[in-house]
């Protein structure tokens, strides 16, 4: 039995034990795979997809999530979350994700009960649990959220491999963290800042595509008055030398390109440097 097959068998067992689930469905590769697996194991009538709507969710992600759930034939709900009402979230310290995940599960648990579903499940995978500082995972666990992918020992590569075998469009989808992850720690999270970052990313991606420089990974990091662009490493030199493209990013005093290219979780590098 392959690694993927063994992990999938364990996942089927985990889902069968849950019986019915409200899947916290961000639209990313992990939660999409979990949703598809839950439908396969439990049936669409025992599964609901929930995409939390707030200023931190890019509009394009909501549209994609709605389309994906529709293809699976599963009910899709879009409850509003208000993480911005939590002081710890707005302060944007290193533990910001704790407050975000707490808000999410606090909203989804009563919703699951209202829908007659036994559990709330997240797409946390086995790699996430090994990734070091993840306060959001702890917050969800404290609130009783199920983690079938983690419990089955499925890593990101296995999630993608099985998703590809199943024909899921999300199998190779780039990581798409919430908009708040673009803000440097200590820069207060506000609706205005989140909207500014989203506008900048949409405009820059469009400008790059028009210039024949389509990219896979792109982030506009908000450092306060400075926007730092992270992009596929092989595109850094070309983009840095095209000021007319960087002009698509507006609302900041200065725009710079990170010479190291895109790195998921790059905002945590400052935390590691301080702790070291």
Q: Structurally, how many domains does the chain consist of?
A: 2
Residue 29 is assigned to a structural domain of this protein: yes
5, pLDDT greater than 90: no
Question: Same domain for 236 and 139?
Answer: no
Domain span at 10: 3-166
Q: Give the tens place of pLDDT for each residue, 61-120.
A: 999 999 999 999 999 999 999 999 999 999 999 999 999 999 999 999 999 999 999 999
Q: Give the tens place of pLDDT for each residue, 174-191.
A: 887 899 999 999 999 999
Question: Same domain for 234 and 151?
Answer: no
Structure tokens at 79: 């409850």
- What is the model's pLDDT at position 177? 83
- 122-135 CB burial, b ≥16 within 10 A, e <16: bbbbbbbbeeeebb
Q: Give the tens place of pLDDT for each residue, 109-168.
A: 999 999 999 999 999 999 887 765 678 888 898 999 999 999 999 999 999 999 999 999
Question: Same domain for 114 and 16?
Answer: yes
Question: Same domain for 152 and 194?
Answer: no
Residues 223 and 121: their CA atoms lie apart, in Å, by: 33
**Length of the chain, please?**
276
Question: Same domain for 34 and 75?
Answer: yes
273, pLDDT greater than 80: no
Question: Same domain for 62 and 83?
Answer: yes
Q: Which helix (H) or strand (E) holds 121?
A: strand 119-121
Question: Same domain for 187 and 143?
Answer: no
- What is the model's pLDDT at position 133? 60
- Which contacts qualify for 64-70: CB closer than 8 Å, 24 or more apart? 64/27, 65/25, 65/26, 65/27, 68/27, 68/32, 68/35, 68/169, 68/170, 69/25, 69/35
- For the segment 226-232, the average pLDDT, to the nearest whole number, is 96
- What is the model's pLDDT at position 143? 92
- What is the model's pLDDT at position 136? 85
Question: Residue 233, SS3?
Answer: helix
Residue 186 is assigned to a structural domain of this protein: yes
Write down which residue in 113, 140, 166 finishes a domain: 166
Write down which residue in 133, 166, 199 finishes a domain: 166
- 41-77 CB burial, b ≥16 within 10 A, e <16: bbeeebbbbbbbebbbbbeebbebbeebbeebebebb
Question: Residue 176, SS3?
Answer: coil
Question: Same domain for 153 and 191?
Answer: no
- What is the model's pLDDT at position 222? 97
- What is the model's pLDDT at position 271? 54
Question: Residue 73, SS3?
Answer: coil
Question: Same domain for 185 and 126?
Answer: no
Average pLDDT, the chain: 92
Residue 174 is assigned to a structural domain of this protein: no
Residues 231 and 262: their CA atoms lie apart, in Å, by: 5
């Amino acid at each position: 039995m392959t690694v993927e097959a063994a992990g999938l068998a364990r996942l089927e067992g985990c889902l069968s034990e849950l019986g019915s689930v409200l899947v916290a469905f961000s639209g990313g590769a992990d939660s999409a795979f979990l949703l598809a697996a839950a439908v396969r194991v439990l049936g669409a009538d025992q599964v609901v997809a929930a995409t939390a709507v707030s200023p931190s969710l890019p509009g394009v992600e909501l549209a994609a999530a709605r389309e994906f759930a529709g293809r699976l034939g599963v009910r899709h709900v879009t409850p509003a979350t208000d993480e911005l009402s939590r002081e710890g979230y707005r302060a944007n310290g290193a533990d910001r994700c704790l407050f975000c995940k707490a808000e999410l599960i606090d909203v989804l648990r009563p919703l699951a009960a209202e829908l007659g579903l036994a559990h709330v499940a997240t797409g946390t995978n086995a790699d996430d649990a090994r990734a070091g500082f993840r306060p959001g995972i702890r917050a969800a666990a404290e609130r009783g959220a199920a983690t079938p992918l983690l419990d089955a020992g499925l890593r990101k590569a296995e999630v993608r491999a099985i998703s590809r075998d199943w024909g899921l469009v999300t199998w190779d989808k780039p990581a798409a963290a919430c908009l708040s992850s673009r803000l440097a720690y200590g820069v207060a999270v506000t609706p205005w800042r989140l909207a500014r970052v989203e506008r900048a990313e949409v405009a820059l991606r469009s400008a790059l595509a028009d210039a024949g420089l389509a990219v896979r990974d792109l982030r506009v990091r908000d450092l306060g008055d400075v926007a730092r662009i992270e992009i596929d490493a092989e595109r850094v030199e070309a983009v840095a030398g095209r000021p007319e493209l960087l002009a698509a990013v507006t609302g900041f005093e200065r725009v710079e390109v990170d010479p190291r290219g895109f790195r998921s979780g790059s905002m945590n590098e400052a935390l590691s440097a301080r702790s070291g």
